[in-house]
Amino acid sequence: MAEEFFKRGNEYTQKASFYYEMGKKQDAEDEIKKALEEYNKAHEIDPSNPEYYRKVGELFLKTGKYQDAIEQFNKAIEMRPGATVYYIEKGTALNSLNKYEEALKELDKAISLNPKNSQAYLQKSISLKNLGNFNDALSAINLAIQYLPKYTGMEGFLAYDYEIKASILMALGNFNDALSILDEADRISPVNKKSYNTRRIMRANLLNLTGKYQEALDEFTSLLKIDSNNAFFHYGKAIALENLGKYELAKIEIENAVQLNPTNELFKAAKERINSKSL
């Protein structure tokens, strides 16, 4: 009986997460309330089940209530200290709060319980990257990829791991390798060209960084058709145009970037440089 309430709660959690990601705050709150009602019914039937706290924690984690999520995961850990997933989810919430040192402690606990857990290594790589430990982060994401189950339906997870690996390689200055990894991610799980996400933006920047300026120009032009008010897209397009020797067009794009974000020092420096070339 409790499982039925958990199942219904999970459905409301999915809806709450969707609305949260879409920026529909009130709709998300409505679904959160419904999910909690179902989870509470399950808890009344089986109050000794730590999965209640995990489910509520996941609900909060997926809707940006990270501190509330941590409190729930702590309760789950107290009841079942040998459950790897509780430490991973607590570490994920801590990463979301930028508490990377604390996250590492939880993730290392998870790894000590299950040394081949892909998700633990993924989150650990995120912690390490944000702490500036790029080589250790690269080792961690490689283990995440190694231990990720290789069955149908996991392609999206593998592509995300590759995105994280590419971001670490970028931080290390290995731009060509990062671009190759992103291309592999796109082969595994293609992005929607009618929208933009982290992978598309990262790839566009990498095209500039690897000297593929015409491809970068095409990509930033495409991205600007989706979001013409994104200052960073105008900046990326300006850099591509600058390096293609199209200074007058670059001047227009960098001016757009500065108008949208007048305090950005990177944009201002690029504007000064491009203007000097167009004289």
Domain ranges of the chain: 191-279
**Per-residue tokens: 104:** 């590492």
Residue 195: band (very low, low, confident or very high) from pLDDT cuts 50, 70, 90: low
Q: How many angstroms separate the CA atoms of 277 and 275, rounded?
A: 5
Q: Give pLDDT, residue 268.
A: 96
User: What does the pLDDT read at residue 196?
Assistant: 66
Per-residue pLDDT, 151: 86
Query: What type of residue is 108?
Result: D
User: What phi and psi values does residue 181 have, to the nearest 5 degrees?
Assistant: -65, -40
The pLDDT of residue 191 is: 74
Task: Look at the pTM and tell me if it is higher than 0.85.
Answer: yes
Question: Which residue is associated with the tokens 């999206």?
Answer: 156
**Model confidence band, residue 84 (pLDDT cutoffs 50, 70, 90):** very high
Give 211's DSSP letter: T
242-270 per-position pLDDT tens digit: 999 999 999 999 999 999 999 999 999 99
What token pair was written down for 10? 């999970």
Shortest CA distance to 107 belongs to which of 144, 62, 75?
A: 144
CA-to-CA separations, 126 to 94, 97, 203, in angstroms, rounded: 11, 12, 19
**Residue-level length of the chain:** 279
Q: Phi, psi at residue 194, to the nearest 5°?
A: -90, 0
* 3-state percent breakdown (helix, strand, coil) of the chain, nearest 5: 80, 0, 20
**Beta strands in 51-99, from DSSP E residues, in sequence order:** none
Per the CB < 8 A criterion, the answer to whether 110 and 117 are in contact is yes
CATH class of the domain comprising 191-279: mainly alpha
Mean pLDDT of 190-206: 83
Q: Does pLDDT of 46 surpass 90?
A: yes
How many helices and strands in the chain, by DSSP H and E? 15, 0
Residue 278 has pLDDT above 80, yes or no: no
Structure tokens at 90: 């607590």
What is the amino acid identity at position 58? E
Average of per-residue pLDDT across 16-33: 95
pLDDT at 150: 87
- Residue 61: CA count within 13 A, CB half-sphere: 22
Could you tell me if 126 and 95 are in contact, meaning their C-beta atoms sit under 8 angstroms apart?
Answer: yes
Residue appearing with tokens 């794009």: 253
